[in-house]
Amino acid sequence: MNTIMRKSVLGIAGLAFAGGIAGGPIAAHAATPAVDAKPVAVVQTDKVDKGKLIPHGTQGAQSRIDLNDEQTANVKAIIAATKKSGMDERAAVISIATSLQESKLENLGHLGDRNDHDSLGLFQQRPSSGWGTPEQITDPIYSTQAFLKGLKQVDGWQDMPLTEAAQTVQVSAYPDAYAQWEQQAADLVAQHWNS
């Protein structure tokens, strides 16, 4: 019996004994030689594959902001909506980076004179452009699902650089601005995808 197998068997036997389900008398284990136990690496299977989060590498200089509780809750809402839409971690990265650019992950109401037309919510979606009602657009789950519905309609979005995928959905006057948030978005997905 090899050393790894012996350690496994001894570990299971020890657990069974400690749990009160010993398979035989204590004396039966006395003849077993002591084994030099070493820690075994634990592999966690629910970790996010970071290579999948940024498959093309980041483009250009990256920006980063500190998030408050509301912004973190919006990150979690975007991730929940992404999962509910049956989409993967890359879709969440694109969604979060887009929201970081559009609203800094703040659920924006009407901004008065500073408002870009009638843009609202995490993604600055416009009721007049068919994104939904103001109430819908300011619901983080709804607005994310609306964004993801648009993303699903982009042929090959999975293989595009983030800024192209986001721009195809958003049609922004600043199409390259989304790229600066890719690293922070990927970090947030890695941190919150399984939480």
User: Do residues 92 and 189 touch, judged by C-beta distance below 8 A?
Assistant: yes
At 57, phi and psi to the nearest 5? 75, 160
Asked whether 53 and 93 are in contact (CB, 8 A), the reply is yes
Predicted local confidence at residue 137, as pLDDT: 95
Tokens representing 98 are 């887009």
Query: Greater confidence, 33 or 78?
Result: 78
Round to whole Å and give the CA distance between 112 and 90: 34
Using pLDDT thresholds of 50, 70 and 90, give the confidence band for residue 29: very low
Contacts 24+ apart (CB under 8 A), 59-64: 59/161, 59/162, 59/163, 59/176, 59/179, 59/182, 60/176, 60/179, 60/180, 61/180, 62/180, 62/181, 62/182, 62/183, 62/184, 63/100, 63/180, 63/181, 63/184, 64/183, 64/184
Per-residue pLDDT tens for 151-174?
999 999 999 999 999 999 999 888
Residue 165 placed within a domain: yes
What pLDDT score does 28 carry? Answer: 40
Q: Has residue 181 been placed in a domain? A: yes
Beta strands in 80-140 (DSSP E): none
Q: Is residue 138 part of a domain?
A: yes
62 lies in a domain?
no
Please compute the mean of the pLDDT values over residues 183-187 and round it to a whole number: 97
Task: Compute the average pLDDT of residues 12-32.
Answer: 40
Residue 102 falls inside a structural domain: yes
Single pTM value for the model = 0.73
Domain containing residue 141 = 68-193
**Number of domains forming the structure of the chain:** 1
With respect to residue 34, please indicate whether it lies within any of the assigned structural domains: no
Domain membership of residue 93 (yes or no) is: yes
For the chain, how big is the Rg over CA atoms in Å? 25
**Count of beta carbons in the 10 Å neighbourhood of residue 82:** 26
The predicted-structure confidence for 53-110, as pLDDT tens digits, reads as follows 988 888 889 999 999 999 999 999 999 999 999 999 999 999 999 999 999 999 987 6
